[in-house]
C-alpha cells in the first residue's frame, strides 16, 4: 500500500492545485485535506502545507493557521518523525508553530519569515535556491545531489528570515539553513537574496531533519511548460526543474 500524503487546505490557501499535481506526477499518493476534516489527518504518512494567505495572514503571516486544529496533528506527526513540507505561506506557518527551525520545543517560535527588505515590499520574481547542507541533513532533500540548484518563483511580501542574533547563530551552527538564494550559475552572494533574508536563507529544516520550510515556490517551475528551454522531447507536461524537490520528497515518504 502506498503511503498517502495530505495537502492541507486552510481558508486562503492557494497554489494547492500545482502542489497536488506535481506530487502526483512525481509518484506521490497525494490528496487534499480540508480544514474542516482535521480529524482525518492522522491516517496520512506525510504532510504538505501549500502557499497562499491562510486566514488572510491576519496578525502575522501564518500566525492564525499555526494554531488551527490541523496543526495539532501536524505537530504530533512531526514529533513522531513524519515528513512535513511547507511552501511559502506553509513555511511561514511552520515557523509560527515552532516546527522550524525547531531549536526549542514545539509551539515555541524562535524565528519568522517576516516583512521583506524594504519592509512590506512584495516581490514576484524567478529565483534559484541552492542546497546549503549535505543532502542527508534533511530527509526531504536526501535524494538531491550536493549543491543542488533548483529553479522556483519567489512570490511573497513576508519572506525575510528574522530572529534574534543568538538564534541566528544557533540556526547557522546547527545547519538549519537548508537552502540559500543563488544566481543561475550557482553563485551565492548578498545580491542573489531578493528579500534581505538573514543568512541568505530560502529554507529551514528542523533539528531532526524531517521538516522543511521553503519560501520560494518550486511547484511554479516544475514542468517543461513552465520553462520551454528545458524541453528535450515533445512532452511539455513532463516534470522538470523544480520537480526534483518533490521527487526527493516523495521518495523520502516511500521509505519513511
Q: What is the CATH number of the domain that holds 119?
A: 3.40.50.880
Which residue's entry shows cell 550557482?
Answer: 186
CA distance 101 to 214: 11
3 state SS of 197: coil
User: Does residue 16 have an active-site annotation?
Assistant: no
Range of the domain at 142: 4-255
The answer to whether the predicted template modeling score (pTM) of the entire model surpasses 0.75 is: yes
Domains held by the chain: number: 1
CA distance 201 to 213: 10
Measure the N-to-C terminal CA separation of the chain; round to a whole number of Å: 13
Are residues 114 and 127 in contact, defined by beta-carbon separation less than 8 angstroms? no
User: Cell digits for 46?
Assistant: 506525510
What are 163-171's contacts with CB under 8 Å, separation 24+?
163/110, 163/111, 163/112, 163/198, 164/110, 167/103, 167/110, 167/111, 168/111, 168/198, 168/199, 170/101, 170/103, 171/101, 171/103, 171/111, 171/199, 171/201, 171/204
User: Does residue 217 have an active-site annotation?
Assistant: yes
User: Does residue 88 have an active-site annotation?
Assistant: yes
pLDDT in single tens digits along all 256 residues of the chain: 579 999 999 999 999 999 999 999 999 999 999 999 999 999 999 999 999 999 988 889 899 999 999 999 999 999 999 999 999 999 999 999 999 999 988 788 999 999 999 877 899 999 999 999 999 999 999 999 999 999 999 999 999 999 999 999 999 999 999 999 999 999 999 999 999 999 999 999 999 999 999 999 999 999 998 887 777 777 888 899 999 999 999 999 999 8
Catalytic one of 88, 156, 176, 247 = 88
Which residue's entry shows cell 529544516?
Answer: 205
Can you say how many angstroms the Cα of residue 25 is from the centroid of all Cα atoms in its chain? 18
Which residue's entry shows cell 531549536?
Answer: 103
Catalytic one of 55, 115, 156, 217 = 217
What is the widest separation between alpha-carbon atoms in the chain? 52
Catalytic one of 16, 18, 96, 219 = 219
Amino acid at each position: 500500500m502506498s503511503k498517502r500524503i495530505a495537502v492541507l487546505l486552510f481558508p486562503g490557501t492557494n497554489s494547492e492545485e500545482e502542489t497536488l499535481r506535481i506530487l502526483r506526477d512525481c509518484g506521490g499518493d497525494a490528496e487534499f485535506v480540508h480544514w474542516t476534516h482535521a480529524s482525518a489527518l492522522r491516517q496520512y504518512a506525510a504532510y504538505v502545507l501549500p502557499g497562499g494567505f491562510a486566514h488572510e495572514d491576519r496578525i502575522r503571516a501564518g500566525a492564525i493557521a499555526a494554531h488551527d486544529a490541523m496543526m495539532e496533528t501536524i505537530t504530533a506527526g512531526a514529533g513522531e518523525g513524519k515528513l512535513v513540507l511547507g511552501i511559502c505561506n506553509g513555511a511561514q506557518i511552520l515557523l509560527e508553530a515552532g516546527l522550524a527551525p525547531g531549536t526549542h520545543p514545539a509551539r515555541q517560535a524562535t524565528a519568522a519569515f517576516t516583512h521583506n527588505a524594504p519592509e512590506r515590499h512584495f516581490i514576484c520574481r524567478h529565483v534559484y535556491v541552492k542546497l546549503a547542507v549535505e543532502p542527508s541533513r534533511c530527509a526531504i532533500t536526501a535524494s538531491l545531489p550536493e549543491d543542488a540548484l533548483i529553479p522556483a518563483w519567489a512570490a511573497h511580501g513576508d519572506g525575510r528570515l528574522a530572529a534574534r542574533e543568538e538564534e541566528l547563530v544557533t540556526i547557522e551552527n546547527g545547519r538549519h539553513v537548508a537552502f540559500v538564494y543563488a544566481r543561475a550559475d550557482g553563485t551565492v552572494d548578498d545580491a542573489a537574496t531578493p528579500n534581505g533574508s538573514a543568512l541568505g536563507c530560502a529554507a529551514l529544516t528542523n533539528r531532526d531533519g524531517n521538516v522543511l520550510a521553503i519560501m520560494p515556490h518550486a511547484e511554479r517551475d516544475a514542468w517543461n511548460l513552465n520553462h520551454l528551454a528545458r524541453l528535450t522531447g515533445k512532452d511539455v507536461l513532463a516534470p522538470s526543474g523544480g520537480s526534483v524537490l518533490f521527487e526527493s520528497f516523495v521518495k523520502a515518504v516511500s521509505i519513511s
